[in-house]
Amino acid sequence: MVMTRSQTFDAPHMAGAEGDDNAETFSDSNPTPEDAGNLQILFLKRNRIHDEISRFKLWFETNNLSTSASRLRVRLRDFVRIKAQFDKIHSQIEALDDATPDLEQATTRLYFENAYYDLCADVEDAIEQKRVNTSSPAPQDGSFITAIKWYKDDDLIVDSADEELPLPEGHMLWENGSLEIFRVTPNDTGTYICEIIRPEPWSPIKQRHAIEVLHPPSVEPFPPDGFLQVKLGEEVRMSCKGSGVPYPIITWYTQGEEIKLLNHRELLKFTASDRQMAGIYECRAANGVGEPATAQIELNIIYPPELMTSRSWIHTAPGHRVQLECKISADPQATVTWTKGDIPVPLDSRVVSLVDGDKYTLLIKNVQKSDFGIYTCKAINELGQGELQIQLSGVPNPGVFKKTDDKNINSKNSYTLIWEVDSYTPIIEYNLWFQPYKPKTGLSKPEWTKLTIPTEHSSSGPVYSKSYTIKGLKEKTVYEALLVSRNRYGWSKPSPILRFATLGADLTEEIITPVQHHTQDNIIPLDLSSASKIHRLHIFSCLVSFSAIIYCFNF
């Protein structure tokens, strides 16, 4: 696609007579109704059309080079109209002229049509050749032209007076001084000046043309190979150099979505703050000419090991089979080891290390009591290291309170609690803690009551269920409770806290929340925390019966 602009500027010159356009015009040879029966008039008009062909052919051969394509098209339309007149006249002659043999009539018509079609083809070819053509201004003051020079961006490329200066490839200088460029390329873009040299006393005439060749966009990525690797936290710099006329607009995409930037830019710069930023980045260059051009850059973010596990505490018992799982993400790939304490775990047929993709597993068959303890999964690569701990324990799992909607077992002064505990080893006893619920203001002191409740030996596990009714509670009061349980290996971690209420209190249902393993907010009793001493508060003395009915007396 080519866009051109032109401007003519003339140095001061002497006045002269302006030339007139005396181009030939076709006469009207249309037959009239009065001509239909007069062979002499029809023959005369047919001969006149023959003359028209000769005149048009002479005009075309004389003025082709100096006539624009649009004017040639107008003249060609007139010539086509003359052809229609000839066909009409010739048909009337054939109908009236019995003296002329049919072969002669056909020969006359064939001669005319051959001449007509040959001339039409020549005119159409000339129009086609003028599609990309820069023209020189013709002097209108009667002066003579001694030479025509063409400059591109101030460099002389054509001089009609210098036969030793070769024409650039793909260029042609016509007799009228026009410069034609064939097979236009982007390199032909530029400013062209036509200079007409005239003898004294006339000054040169100059005309400026600007040619801008539009062409589709292209884009070159950086890095050139389309691959960029940075460390986590480093700055990312990638770019796409666009080209094309007009200059293309650069837009960036990742994961199929446009990256919203303040402006369209070749350089994309950001911090690799998250390894999820890795992936394919695409730059797209568009200028409205042809299809957009695209280039892709793959961003790889390398980082030290990151470790996760679904269970950091695992309950088991001797004779069982257990798996300690550690999921590791790292780039470059990490080296993984298992330790217990500071000693590497010895591997054998009973203790096996397994790898499945990014999941690393320590499989222990036929667990022994000596296997209990804290295991460390450690991963190391050239960027750093990471580790996490998994505890293997025989103590019970934390108890879980079960919600109940049975209003018959609760009253204004009592409440029945139901819980379950998972343990491969039989439960020996439970400690149940409860107190009136108070918002955590930091000023209120805890009023926990501890109940020690023996287990029932009829339970066979591994799920141990229990229900207890607490009596002597205040009516219309919200309480909270938690539970710990003990087997032969020790006490469990606290259960999630249960919030419950006696009849009349503003609590529509039981609420269970995870326990916080600290005492700053008075959430759990001090002797369940890491404190070495128990802070003595207002404690109730309670008698626990084996029928699971708890009677509380306040002393």
**422 or 85, higher pLDDT:** 422
The DSSP bridge partners found for residue 354 are 361
User: Can you give the pLDDT at residue 550?
Assistant: 34
User: Can you give the pLDDT at residue 63?
Assistant: 75
**136 or 25, higher pLDDT:** 136
pLDDT tens track for 523-536:
456 555 433 333 33
User: Can you give the pLDDT at residue 312?
Assistant: 94
Helix (H, G, I), strand (E, B) or coil at 62: helix
Please give the average per-residue pLDDT across 462-470, as a whole number: 91
Give the helix/strand (H/E) hosting 109: helix 102-129
| Report for 2-11, 27-36, 283-292: range of highest mean pLDDT | 283-292
**403 or 217, higher pLDDT:** 217
pLDDT at 411 over 90: no
Take residue 456 and report the two structure tokens written for it. 């029932």
CB atoms within 10 A of CB 245: 17
Closest CA to 437 of 481, 393, 472: 481
User: Can you give the pLDDT at residue 115?
Assistant: 72
Tell me which of 120-129, 250-259, 395-404 is least confident.
120-129
C-alpha to C-alpha distance for 473 and 436, rounded to whole angstroms: 9
pTM of the shown model: 0.58
C-alpha to C-alpha distance for 105 and 126, rounded to whole angstroms: 32
pLDDT at 414 over 70: yes
Count helices and strands (H / E) in the chain.
3, 35
User: Can you give the pLDDT at residue 316?
Assistant: 95
Indicate the pLDDT class of residue 27, thresholds 50, 70 and 90. very low
Indicate the pLDDT class of residue 545, thresholds 50, 70 and 90. very low
pLDDT tens track for 121-180:
777 777 666 554 555 565 665 557 788 999 999 899 999 888 888 989 888 888 788 899
Please give the average per-residue pLDDT across 469-474, as a whole number: 91
